[in-house]
Amino acid sequence: MTEQHENLSALVDGEIHEDKVLDALSHDDQLREKWQRYHLIRSTMRKEMPAGQYMDISAQIADAIEREPTVLAPNKRFARIPVIGRLSNKVVPFAKQSGQFAVAASVAAAVIIGFQTFNQPPESKPFVTAPPAAGPQGGLAPVSLEQTRALPTQSRAEVLETRRHINALIADHEQQVKLKSDSDKKNQENQESPVQ
Amino acid sequence: MMGKLLLLFVLATTSLGVVALQSPDTPEQSPTTTKKLTAKDWLSRLKTVVSESNYEVSFVLSRVGHEAVPYLWRHSVLPDGTDMEQLNLQNGPGREFIRVNQQISVFEPDQPPYSVYGNNINGPIPTALLNAPESLYGAYEFVLVGRSRVSGRPAQQIRVVSQDNTRYAYQVWLDEETAMLLKMNMLDKQGNVLEQIQVSSFSFSEQPHPYFQRVNQSALPKVMALPPTQLGEHKWAVSYVPVGMKEVKQDTRRLAISGQLVDYRLFSDGLVDVSVYVEPANQSLNQDVLLRHKLNTFLSLTNGNVQVTVIGEIPPETANNIARSLVVSR
C-alpha cells in the first residue's frame, strides 16, 4: 500500500509514467481520491489555489464531458490517463494537444528573441574601469579640490614630473601615518632610555 | 566566576571614579543631572569595553567617491591575559592585521608580511578615540547630542568638534547598553559626510573567540627594524598649527619613490595627522598646487626658495594657514 502511495506521489510530481500505476489508479477509488488530494496539496503549497473557497467541480465537468459528442478518437494509451473525477474514454488528454501548443510556443519564443535582439540599447557610454563615484549616502559632493589654481602651460614631461613628485609626497605621507603608532612608541622608549 | 565578579567590580569602581573626577570640571551641571552620563563618560565607557571585553564587530567604511569597504574587527583577552585583536578587510585580496599584546603583524596582498610595535591596530576607526579619548580633549570638544537609533539599537550621539573649528567634525554614535561604537561620520564644514563608519553587527562573548586560539604566535613575522630616524637640523618652523596639534616626528630623509631629500615633520591631534615637507623649490614642484587625494588635502606653496607641502585630512584653508606660517631661519 505504501509503495502504491509513493508511486502515486511520484506520478503527481511527473517523475514516473508507469502504466501499472495508472492502471491501479483508474481502478481504485480510494487511490483516485488521494490523487485528487495530492494535487490539491501541491496547488496549495505552490500558492496556486484560488483566493476564494475551493470547489470541486471536477465531477460535474466529467459528467458534462460525458454528455458531449465525441470529436476525436482517443488514443488507447492516453485514454488510460485518469481524468480528475470520473474516468472517461472520450476526453482528449492534454498531452495529445501538446504538439499543437509546441508549435505555437516556438513561434512565440522566436518573436520574443527577435524583440530582444532588436531592442538592445546601443552602447553609448565609453568603457571605463574606474568604479562610479558613489558616496555613503546619495548627494555627497567632494569638498572642493581638483586643481583650483590655473597652472602655467607646461610641457608634457614637466607635467609628468610634477605628478610623480606629488605622488611621492602623498605616498610618503601615507606611510608615515601608517607607521605613526610605531614611532610614537619608539619615541617613548627613547625618552625612557638613559642613553638618549 | 569570582574573577569575573571581581572584574565587574573593578569596572564599576573605575567608571565611578571617572564620574567623580569629572564632576568638578563641569560645574554648570546641576546635582540632579550628575546621574546622567556626559559625553566624556560615554567615551570612557567605550574605552573600557573596547579594551577589556571579547567582541566581534562587522563594520563598513564608506568614503566620498569610493566603494564601501567592509571590515571585521575582533578582540579577545585570552585566559592567560594575552590581549589579541584582529582587523580584516573583507573585500578583494583583503588585508589582515593581528595584534598580540604590543606586536602588530600586517598581512597585505602586495608585500611580504611584517610586524611593528604598537598598542593598537591603526584601522579606520581612530585609535585615540577608542583607546585614549582623554588625549583628544585638548583639541576637540565632545558634546552629547541625545538619543537616536542606529543599527537597530538605541544609541547615544556625540558630536566632536575641534576647539578652534579648523578641522573636520565628527559624529559618533555609541550603543546605549554596551557603549560599543555603532556609527561614525566625518563631516566637512558644510556638514557633508566625507567618511562614514557604520557597524552592521556586533556580539560580545564570555569566551575568547576561537580564531585567536588558532593564531600560531610563533609563526608571526618578526618585528621590523626601522632605520633610525636622522634628526636633521631643520632651518625652518611652522608658527601656526591648529589648537591641540603636536609635533610627533621630525626628520630629514629621502622619499621612497623619487629619492628626493626632504625635511619632514608630522603633526597630530590624535584624530588627524598632518605632514609638512620642506624642500628646495627648484628641486620640487616650484609652483603652487592644491588638490585632494582621498580625504587628504594636498597643498604645496612656493615660499621664496623653498617649497612647503602640507598633506593631511584637514580643510584646505587650514592647510593653507599652516603652509603660510612657515618661517625660514637663515
Task: Give the domain ranges of chain A.
Answer: 2-114, 158-190
* Helix, coil or strand: residue B204: strand
The ipTM (two decimal places) reads 0.81
Q: How far apart are CA B134 and CA B40, in angstroms?
A: 8
Domains of chain B with bracketed CATH = 37-219 (2.50.20.10), 236-328 (3.30.200.100)
pLDDT of B198 reads: 96
Asked if residue B54 lies in contact with residue B75, where contact means CB atoms within 8 angstroms, the answer is yes
What's the CATH number of domain A2-114, 1.10.10.880, 1.25.40.10, 1.20.190.20, 3.40.50.150?
1.10.10.880
Interface mutation target, options B188, B293, B310, chain A, most CBs of A under 10 Å: B293
Q: What is the pLDDT of residues A25-55, one digit of tens each?
A: 777 888 888 888 888 888 888 777 666 566 6
Indicate the pTM of the whole model.
0.61
Asked if residue B268 lies in contact with residue B245, where contact means CB atoms within 8 angstroms, the answer is yes
Q: Does B261 touch chain A (CB under 8 A)?
A: no
Q: Which three cell numbers stand for residue B158?
A: 556625540
- Per CB-CB distance under 8 Å, the chain A contacts of B260 are 165, 168
Q: Does B43 touch chain A (CB under 8 A)?
A: no
CA B198 to chain centre: 16
Q: How far is B197 from chain A (nearest CA, A)?
A: 9
Question: Residue A61 contacts by C-beta under 8 Å, 6 or more apart in sequence?
Answer: A85
- Per CB-CB distance under 8 Å, the chain A contacts of B288 are 149
Q: How far apart are CA B34 and CA A114, in angstroms?
A: 75
A-side interface with B, Cβ within 8 Å?
Answer: 131, 133-137, 140-149, 151-152, 162, 164-173, 175-187
Judged by CB atoms closer than 8 Å, whether chains meet at A179 and B257 is answered as no
Q: How far apart are CA B190 and CA B249, in angstroms?
A: 31
Q: Which three cell numbers stand for residue A15?
A: 517523475
Q: What is the pLDDT of residues A118-131, one digit of tens each?
A: 555 555 555 555 55
Residues 47-86 of B with CB under 8 A from A: 62-68
Q: What is the pLDDT of residues B191-207, one digit of tens each?
A: 899 999 999 999 999 99
* Helix, coil or strand: residue B13: helix
Q: What is the pLDDT of residues B202-237, one digit of tens each?
A: 999 999 999 998 888 888 998 877 766 666 678 888
